[in-house]
Amino acid sequence: MIFGNKKRPNNFGIDIGTKSIKIVEVSQKKDGVVLENYAKLDLDFACRDFFRSFDKNSLNPDIDNISTALRILIAEAEIKKKTATFSLPDFATFYSSFEMPPMSKKEIDSAIGFEARKYVPLPLSEVVLDWQLIEKEKADKDAKKEVLVMAVPKIVVGQYKQIAEKAGIVLDSLEAEAMALKRSLLFKEKDNNVCLVEMGYQSTNVSVINNGFMKMSFSFDVAGKDLTNIIVERFNVNSHEAEKAKRKYGIMESDGLLLRDVLEPKLLEITTKIRKIIKEVDGREGIVTDRIILSGGTSLMPGLLDYFRDSFGDISVEIGKPFNKIIYNRSLEEKMEEINANYAIALGGALRSFE
């Protein structure tokens, strides 16, 4: 949301992570949405520690390095039409939902700022506001309206505008990662009660969806980096070796190396936080979340899916497969597990222009 809403024959989405940048280009053809290009640039290539960092006060993107990396990616992927949707990190956005008296969308647009002041933790003069009406099935016309409000600090919007300009990209829109993820993982489906869990390097993002509408999105700073750091400290190896061990062995026993015992306390912390979020939303909304969809690079760690399934019992858990809903070259089949996990947010941004 935030900017732009034009339908285009093709568009590309950009996901700027802590350790990598990913882009996906799709086009609308007669037979459906087609994957045209995808590309990724890791920090090992860019010789940097982070593309972006975050502290309690601000988001700190490396604007020059990110824009240079994007130019390289766009050239390598041979993307011709440079109109893009950027996904904003969830820890730099604010969400809240609340009820408003019966009124038209035009009236809501005029009144939203007054109500949002109660929920946005920054002065409204410092943020860009966007909102979405949460439609309810068989709602009475005189019933209260439920509204989802999103706010992004103006300084963050300005940073992404700078990145786009320096990279030679036309900025079509900015939206929160959670919205892009919802679009790609639930593309063309109105799922009843589902929890989306995106496990990245820096943070874990949890979004609870009911009938296609986001009820809550929450980000916490426990994720892949913490698992890597535990291996570094426990086995006295460098971060590169720890990352390789995490990706190769995960919490499965292999070649005498057992990481499960050292990683399980941190995984328990993650699943406990997720369960708390689900319980809060289910109790508030009177729903029962019965499905969890995992995404993000950390979701591919060997043994993690089974760990989640054991942890959540009656709730179905699966790895998201967003690219199964679009047309792609079957030569990519062997790579699709990795592509599905790592490019879901970028794909969601690219799909925005087809809504």
Q: What is the pLDDT of residue 257?
A: 60
Residue 237 to residue 263: CA distance in whole angstroms: 15
Measuring CA to CA, how many Å separate 5 from each of 171, 310, 349?
11, 41, 12
Question: Is the CB of residue 74 less than 8 Å from the CB of residue 82?
Answer: yes
Integer Cα distance of 196 and 240 in angstroms: 28
How far from the centroid of its chain's Cα atoms is residue 118's Cα? 26
Burial class from Cβ neighbours inside 10 Å (0-12, 13-18, 19+) for residue 168 reads exposed
pTM of the predicted model as reported, rounded to 2 decimal places: 0.88
Grouping H, G, I as helix, E, B as strand and the rest as coil, residue 44 is: helix
Round to whole Å and give the CA distance between 199 and 215: 19
> Across the 355 residues of the chain, what is the mean pLDDT of every consecutive 10-residue run?
57 88 91 92 58 47 86 87 87 81 85 84 86 70 81 90 94 90 85 90 92 86 94 93 92 72 96 97 93 95 96 96 93 94 95 83
| CA atoms within 13 A of residue 53's CA, in its CB half-sphere | 5
The second-level CATH assignment, the architecture, of 189-318 is 2-Layer Sandwich (3.30)
- Location of structure tokens 């093709």: 10
Cα dihedral: 113, 117, 119, 122 (round 10): 110
Q: φ and ψ at 7, to 5 degrees?
A: -80, 135
**CB neighbours of residue 207 within 10 Å:** 27
What's phi and psi for 283, nearest 5 deg?
-65, -40
Are the CB atoms for 221 and 273 separated by under 8 Å?
no
Candidates 133, 131, 46, 61; CA nearest to 91 is 61
Cα–Cα distances in Å, from 108 out to 93, 133, 154, 167, 256? 21, 9, 22, 36, 61
Structure tokens at 46: 């860019």
309 touches 283 (CB < 8 A):
no
Residue listed under structure tokens 């963050």: 156
SS3 216: strand
Domain borders along the chain are 189-318
Q: How far is it, in rounded angstroms, from Cα 354 to Cα 348? A: 10
**Phi-psi map region of 230: left, alpha, beta (phi>0 left; psi -120 to 50 alpha):** alpha
